């Protein structure tokens, strides 16, 4: 199925957010996530199923004012 991660389209096997992040190279990294504009806590990723067309946001710490 097709999902969007930070606006880029990816073809992935159906599964959870945790599996998708692992497959896309984010395993073990300091990131925070949202699906379709809603925050998904790290602890909830293994229990968050993804659907075709879902929009995932992945963010990391950055400099700020």
Partner 1 sequence: MLYGVELSSRLLLGTARYPSPAVLERAIKASGAQIVTVSLRREGGASRAGQSFWSFVQSLGLRVLPNTAGCHSVQEAVTTAHMARELFDTKWIKLEVIGDADTLQPDVFGLVEAAGILTQDGFEVFPYTTEDLVVADRLLEAGCRVLMPWGAPIGSARGLNNVYGLRSLRAHFPDIPLIVDAGLGVPSHAAAAMELGYDAVLLNTAVAEAGDPVAMARAFALAVEAGRTAFLAQPLEPRDMAQPSTPVIGKAALERFSN
Name the residues that contact partner 1, by CB under 8 A. Answer: 6, 8, 24-26, 29-34, 37-39, 41-42, 57-65
Could you give the CA distance from residue 2 to residue 10 in angstroms, rounded to a whole number?
6
| CA dist., res. 8 & res. 15, Å (int) | 18
As measured in angstroms, the least distance from the Cβ of 53 to partner 1 is: 19
Report the residue number, 1 or 24, with the smaller CB distance to partner 1: 24
C-alpha distances in Å from residue 37, one per residue of 5, 28, 40, 64, 65: 12, 22, 9, 21, 23
| Residue 52 CB, nearest approach to partner 1 (Å) | 21
Q: How far is the CB of 44 from partner 1 (least distance, A)?
A: 10
């Amino acid at each position: 199925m097709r999902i969007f991660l930070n606006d880029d389209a990816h073809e992935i096997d159906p599964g959870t957010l945790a599996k998708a992040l692992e497959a896309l190279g984010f395993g073990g990294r300091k990131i925070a996530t949202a699906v379709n504009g809603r925050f998904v806590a790290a602890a909830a990723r293994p229990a968050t199923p993804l659907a075709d067309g879902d929009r995932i946001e992945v963010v990391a710490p950055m400099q700020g004012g």
